[in-house]
Amino acid sequence: MNSICRFLPVKNDNGSLKTVHFVYETEWKRLRQPQIQPIYYLFLVKRGSGQVRLPEFGTFQISVGSLFLIAPAVRYEITGSDDLSYFYISFMGTRAPELAGELSNTVYNGYDSLIPLWLQSIQRLNAVNGNLLTEGVLLFTLSYLTDNTAEENADKSDTLLKNIVDYLDHHYKDPTLNLKKVADIFGYTDKYLSHLFKSSMNVNWTVYLNRLRIQHAIELLEQGHSNTAELAFACGYSDPMYFSKVFKKMTGKTPKRYRENKQ
């Protein structure tokens, strides 16, 4: 089957979503590489294997059933086997960034089941049904991608949160421990980790860390430790006065009063 290229008729609407091309490409070697496009391009590999290289994001392996979405103004290069062929739909409009979401500039594998739909659709496409058919394929495909990506992101978030909690459980005594330090260790921004912690643990970062430290302080007090400054340093506080303030806020008593009541 040879290449098929469909330029879609102009759509008379508010421009919220406009599909521009629906293409089946079998002669990728004739294309100028690398490429930069002014609008979104959604690719589906039909045959063969290869790579898509995005200098700003990395190099990804592609094969039958690979989906990848290239955002506007992103430089990319596709290379592969002699039999490499793929579909793509290009689209634009004010709704396009919302649909693309966080799906752009990476590769998602295992979508072989969508190939018959894309192939049948491009073969049926004409001037009358072109916009409706292409937009339908685009939205249907993105719905698959969004569902699976949401599950993958949820799994990644759960794993990340577990790793952070484990790290805090083992390092809460470190007086230099702060959100930015942990964010740097795990390769995320402190703003993202703060939001993740709050939304998943239903408590903010500072409160959780203070709870760990004060619980340890209580254990030390019950073991007979009495010096407030030593307690503060042992629990990760470099300022004994701040430690006493946090301790009282969480327990209702100063460390000294807590110790006296226990005695």
Q: How far apart are CA 155 and CA 149, in angstroms?
A: 10
Spatial CA neighbour of 77 closest among 62, 96, 99 = 62
Output phi, psi for 6, to 5 deg.
-120, 120
User: 66: which 2 tokens?
Assistant: 């690979």
* CA dist 175 → 181, 214, 243, 251 (Å): 11, 13, 11, 21
Q: List residues bridging with 13 in a β-sheet.
A: none
- What does the pLDDT read at residue 8? 57
- How sure is the predictor about 5, in pLDDT bands with cuts at 50, 70 and 90? low
- What does the pLDDT read at residue 148? 58
Q: How far apart are CA 207 and CA 197, in angstroms?
A: 11
Contact 37, 90 (CB under 8 A): yes
User: What letter does residue 76 receive in the DSSP assignment?
Assistant: B
Mean pLDDT confidence for 243-249: 92
User: Could you read off the pLDDT of 111-162 as tens digits, one per residue?
Assistant: 999 999 999 999 999 888 888 999 999 999 998 887 655 555 555 667 788 8
**pTM for the complete prediction?**
0.56
- What does the pLDDT read at residue 153? 54
Domains of the chain: 4-151 (2.60.120.280), 172-263 (1.10.10.60)
Contact 124, 133 (CB under 8 A): yes
Q: Which residues of 188-204 are buried (b: 16+ CB within 10 A; e: fewer)?
A: eeeeebbebbeeeeeee
